[in-house]
Structure formats: structure tokens, C-alpha cells
Amino acid sequence: MFKFFKEKIKDAIGKISKKVEEEEKVEEIKPEEKKEKKVIERIKEKITTKKISESKFDELFWNLEVSLMENNMAVEVIDKIKGDLKKEIVDMPLKRNKIEESLLDGLKKSIDDVLDLGEIDLIKLIEKKKPFIIAFFGINGSGKTTSIAKITNLILKKKFSCVLAASDTFRAASVEQLQEHADKLKVKLIKHDYGADPAAVAFDAVEHANARDLDVVLIDTAGRMHTNVNLMDEMKKIVRVVKPDLKIFVGEAITGNDCVEQAKRFNEAIGIDGIILTKLDIDEKGGAAISISYVTKKPVLFAGTGQKYSDLEEFDKDKIVKNLGL
């Protein structure tokens, strides 16, 4: 999961450092500097170190900018990386032959910083509150229902009990789809008729969990575009009525910047707690994970890597940085 065109990033950084190295080797020593006592040290520094001006940096950063874009990174993240690298590099004495290293180091630090959002340990959270209510939101077809089945499978393996709520009362066959998963996983599904109030279904599922002393409630919701005001209001109502302990945004990694924009809007509407990125088995570029975390400041909990229940991977930030070749 979270693959990157790391060669492209390395290439871009290599190109930048080569260009800097190629610049005139020895810079002119200004006459006033000759008067300085430590003139020898000064000359030595000029020979062994190199400084990049801001305008030079802007010109050279373009190479890296393109490769980051090719890796599905959002403009906001690229700007942040640029700002961070600038602080580390512009007008700083950089050791010759170490420029590439400095750039890679700066990039690593910047991405580490984006992904440093604290971890959400789902199992620990479930142990702390009963019933633990998780609601899943996202646009149409992003993988909400499939992710719920995968999480249910994971929770059952950890010996917790759960109930599902068919709060997608909108899309044709959505209830049957979830019922199929519930049957396979042998868990109860709370459902109403199509067209019923999704918040009422979710509420009933929570009541059911309370009555049966179940550990977790997982709420499936209809796919909605963030531009649809009525459906966004309906989502807010579900949140108001059942007060989920965890509101998860489910987004497709393959949609890249669109997915980042959606996460931002859903976060503005209901304040999401975490993210599941799906279809990472199809997408080759892991930049969406970095971008979505940066824009929402919320962590990615899991990655969907296929259609089977076991195709769910816990998000590992160190793996991302490693996959970037940093």
C-alpha cells in the first residue's frame, strides 16, 4: 500500500543538488571580508559550503514540485514542503556534496511533521466505552459498506460483539448488500424500510446494543456529495441523534485531490475523527494519504487494499516515509 514514484522524487532532488553544485565553485570574497581576522576560515567556508538564494530555490524547487504532484500530493502539502525546505536550506551554509542529503532530510522532516497527528488505537477505544459507536461517511461508492464489513471482521476477531445499522435507506439494494455481510459475519443488522429516517435506524441500533450489552455499533450511511445540502443536513442529524464516538470519513485514494477536497468538506460539516482510504490496491500513488492528513489534520486509521475482508491494513506512517525512499 501507499506506493510512490520515489525514483521521481529522488531524481528531482538529485537534479536540484547537481544544479547547485554546478554553480561557480568559489564565490568571490568581498574586500571588506578580507579585513576580517578569520579570513582563512571564511575562505574555507566559501569553498566547502554553498548557499542557495531564495530566488534560486524557487527556480530549482519546480523539479520537485512536479514529482510531488505526480505522486498525488495536494497543492497545500506541496506549499508546506516548499516552506519547510526553504527554512532549512535557503541562505544556510550547505556542505558541498551534502546538498542532496540536506534536501532529502528536509523533505523527510516535513512529511514526518504532516503525519504526526497522534494515533487512534481503535481496539483500545472500544475497550473504554460500551457501546462504542462508529459512523462511516463519504461520497457514493467510496467503499463505506465494504469497509464496515472489514472493520466488523476485525472487531469480531478481537472477540468484541457488534451490531450494524443500515442507515443508508436511500440507495437501492443498499440494505440487502449490508444484510449479506451481516449474514456472512453472523452479526445482527438493524434496518428499516427504504426512505426511513437514517438517524432513527442508527438510534435503534444503539438501543439494541444497550439492551444486549453489545460492544460496538457500526453505522452505514448513504453516499453523499458534499455539495448536496439536504444530504449533508441529514448526515448532521445522524451525528446529533446518536453522537458517534468515532466519525470516519471513507475516501477513495484513486480520486486523489478530489478525495482531499471531500474530506475537507465533510470535516467542516461534522468534524471527522479519522479516515479510511480505500482502493489502495488500484492506486499507485500514496500522496493522497499525506494530503488528506495535512488538510484535515486527522489521521488515516486504515487502508483498504482489496475486496476481501482481510484486505484492510493498519496505517503505518513510518512505512509511508520509507516508501518515499526517505
Ligand X SMILES: Nc1nc2c(ncn2[C@@H]2O[C@H](COP(=O)(O)OP(=O)(O)OP(=O)(O)O)[C@@H](O)[C@H]2O)c(=O)[nH]1
User: Does 307 sit near ligand X (CB under 6 A)?
Assistant: yes
> CA 276 to CA 314: how far, in whole Å?
10
Q: Of 105 and 281, which has the nearer Cβ to ligand X?
A: 281
Comparing CA positions, the residue from 281, 267, 280, 133 lying closest to residue 207 is 133
> CA 67 to CA 10: how far, in whole Å?
9
User: Does 313 sit near ligand X (CB under 6 A)?
Assistant: no
User: Does 152 sit near ligand X (CB under 6 A)?
Assistant: no
| Nearest-approach distance from CB 109 to Mg ion, in angstroms | 39
Contacts of 223 (CB under 8 A, 6+ apart): 138, 139, 140, 141, 142, 144, 168, 171
Cα dihedral 96, 97, 103, 104, rounded to 10, equals -160
The interface mask with ligand X, positions 38-67, x = CB under 6 A, is ------------------------------
Per CB under 6 A, the list member of 8, 50, 80, 144 interacting with ligand X is 144
User: Does 198 sit near ligand X (CB under 6 A)?
Assistant: no
User: Does 281 sit near ligand X (CB under 6 A)?
Assistant: yes
User: Does 168 sit near ligand X (CB under 6 A)?
Assistant: yes
User: Does 169 sit near Mg ion (CB under 5 A)?
Assistant: no
Which partner from the list Mg ion, ligand X, none does 307 bind, CB cut-off 5 to 8 Å by kind?
Answer: ligand X
- DSSP code, position 142: S
Q: Of 25 and 308, which has the nearer Cβ to Mg ion?
A: 308
User: Does 152 sit near Mg ion (CB under 5 A)?
Assistant: no
CB 294 within 8 A of CB 83: no
Cis peptide leading into 93, omega within 30 of 0?
no
Residues 190-229 that bind Mg ion (CB under 5 A): none
CB 2 within 8 A of CB 319: yes
Contacts with Mg ion by CB under 5 A lie at 144-145
Q: Which residues bind ligand X (CB under 6 A)?
A: 138, 140-146, 168, 171, 174, 223, 278-279, 281-282, 304-307, 311
